[in-house]
Chain A
């Protein structure tokens, strides 16, 4: 008896990415650069978050032709983004055979109340969160992988730091609670008690936890790993920098050897300009993508 699309298969798929770097790419050439540098997967999209920020307007799922051209170029898994709550974009992405769907705050939400019910899909979903309750709600909807939001397209790592610290700190607290207190915690987190209990027992999320949103240097990537991330997404940070191939490789090496400062020092030399970036302080409240998702 053979079964597809089970939680074991979806979560197990995401486990295979651990310790790796996932890079945003907008062309087949960039996908090739990412794969050559040792990326563990690529995110195919039409504009990186830094450009989405600059251009404004409504941002949607990419053209399937563009995603196909990237799938044809690389052998590593290809992810693509659907708008929050846009279950038909997700159906389309599953139909064209992407390996993962990212229900992403970087695109303009299609539904301000509901997320996609992901349990009905066979494809694996990665979802975003900036705290534990949001992560567990996404897992209850069928997400097999979580990435913390940070603040996409800024090159400012501070929000990524806040979000991973928040999620892991809340998990640490759960492990100190008794059976009765866990019910109260579930209420506070607005998350199902079964997942709260499982997280408390494991001392980690029941799925892989990556960090995203503002990682721009090898040291940023290694810092996220030292804080306890399972891996790193780098969006605008690679291809908005002066020497993408060198920076991509350096970030991969710093992620694999995150606890080796000499090695991180070595790969940080001579990388050219990092992405210019936008400090979080200079953004208005309405510009913060991390507020998307509920």
Chain B
């Protein structure tokens, strides 16, 4: 069984752990640098991207995690996790800390504030019909040439993959449907 970490500083960690277990992985909460040892992949959960970036820096996890991802550790980011994996963020704080790796520019809170948060069915390439829950969600404003767009809402990419990195604007962990996690575990981690 593969071991997939869930960054557990803050956010909807419990839901990701349960989705990964449904997808047949062993899920490991990650709070310390030593927790990164022996992982076959990592999930960056939803939460507050500004806060998570701050906490990664304050708790000395930013560089070790950045290095593991740059060295090829498969990673899946949802919502705030998508922002952390992006190479550039718009409408964030000027000093917002990112892990980077994905050649995309994301716009933070792109769909608007909480009152504009929504749920909607969408088609994700390689996965099928998925119920997307979008909460103060980002969208992808620019995707680099080696980035595959897997799903869009209107014009805007909301699911992307580049090699060992996967990111969605929406939160599959909140729906009880583990197919996005299965896709990550079976095609990218194993």
Residue ranges of A at the interface with B (Cβ–Cβ < 8 Å): 1-6, 8-9, 12-13, 15-20, 35-41, 74-77, 94, 97, 99-100, 122-124, 249, 252-253, 256-257
Contacts and interface: CB of A to CB of B under 8 A. Distances in A.
Given A13-B136, A41-B48, A76-B48, 16 more contacts: A3-B120, A4-B115, A9-B133, A15-B46, A16-B12, A18-B10, A18-B12, A18-B47, A39-B51, A75-B50, A97-B115, A99-B114, A99-B136, A124-B114, A252-B55, A256-B59
B67 interface: no
A18 B11 contact: yes
Nearest to A208: B12
Question: What's the interface size class on B, roughly?
Answer: 35 or more
Contacts of B54: 35-38
A122 B114 CA distance: 8
Those 4 A-B pairs whose CB atoms lie nearest each other, nearest first: A19-B10, A2-B120, A15-B12, A99-B114
A100 B48 CA distance: 14
B115 A40 contact: no
B135 A16 contact: yes
A32 to B, nearest CB: 10
B119 A256 contact: no
B64 interface: no
A256 B55 contact: yes
A77 B48 contact: yes
Nearest to B8: A19
Interface in B1-58: 8-15, 31, 46-48, 50-51, 54-55, 58
Nearest to A3: B119
Nearest to B80: A16
Nearest to A231: B10
A240 B27 CA distance: 41
Given A40-B51, A256-B59, A5 B10 contact: no
B114 A100 contact: yes
A34 B80 CA distance: 19
Given A4-B118, A19-B10, A99 B113 contact: yes
Contact of A40 (B8, B48, B135): B48
A38 B51 contact: yes
Contacts of B135: 9, 12-13, 16
B116 interface: yes
Contact of A76 (B50, B59, B174): B50
Contacts of B96: 75
Contacts of B80: 16
